[in-house]
Amino acid sequence: MVPRGVRTRQLMKHIPAICLTLVWALLAAAIPALAADAPIGTVKTVQGDVVVVRGDGTHPCQEGMHVFTGDTLQSKEGGRAGVILLDGTRLALGEKAQLKIDKFLYAPSESSFGLVLQIVRGIVIYTSGKIAKFSPASVEIRTPVGIAGTRGTALAMRIEAQ
């Protein structure tokens, strides 16, 4: 049997390691949440009435504004916008368009890629970036009538409002 004072000293030696392990576990849990809030692109051009809808409300679209996964861009009559994502993907919205960025994953060091766009209505032009170059099958463009898979270059589509 180990005397009580000796056992306490043995446990005290392990407290720094236990604390360090807890800190690492908390950081590992927080990093994905922080990445989810990281900007994935920037609005480069805006003409007319265009808004960005996200969890905290509807915001007027402005040049230089960051876009995030989950954002929906909506243009009204006469409105247009151009967005460049971090991998170089370019998105252009014509008037009366609605596009949602459902997924954006660009981690080349981990060979992790993914882009899912949902086009609800209007004219949208997609010009591929590095995600499509490195992993063409990981790009999906969803529409009310089907899913378009891209294999690079550019795609223009017009979706009529229903």
Q: What is the tens place of the pLDDT at every residue in 27-42?
A: 444 444 444 589 999 9
**56-69 exposure pattern, b = at least 16 Cβ within 10 A, e = fewer:** eeeeebeeebebbb
pLDDT number for residue 34: 41
Helix (H, G, I), strand (E, B) or coil at 127: strand
Contact 83, 73 (CB under 8 A): yes
Per-residue pLDDT at 117: 96
Looking at residue 154, its pLDDT comes to: 85
- Say what the pLDDT of residue 5 is: 61
Average pLDDT over residues 136-151: 84
Q: List Cα–Cα distances, 106 to 50, 115, 144, in angstroms.
A: 26, 8, 26
3-class secondary-structure state, position 11:
helix
pLDDT (tens digit, 9 = 90+) per residue, 86-138? 999 999 999 999 999 999 999 999 999 999 999 999 999 999 999 999 999 99
Instruction: State the average pLDDT for the chain.
Output: 84
Residues 6+ away with beta carbon under 8 Å from 133: 152
Cα 16 to Cα 29: distance, rounded to the nearest angstrom: 20
Yes or no: say if 40 and 104 are a contact pair by the CB < 8 Å rule. Answer: yes
pLDDT in the model for residue 37: 81
Q: In the chain, where are the structural domains located?
A: 1-37, 41-159
Residue pair 105/114 in contact (Cβ under 8 Å)? The answer is yes
Range with the poorest average pLDDT among 46-50, 85-89, 143-147: 143-147
Question: Angle at CA 115, nearest 5°, toward 27 and 90?
Answer: 115
Split at pLDDT 50, 70, 90, the class of 21 is low
The model's pTM: 0.76
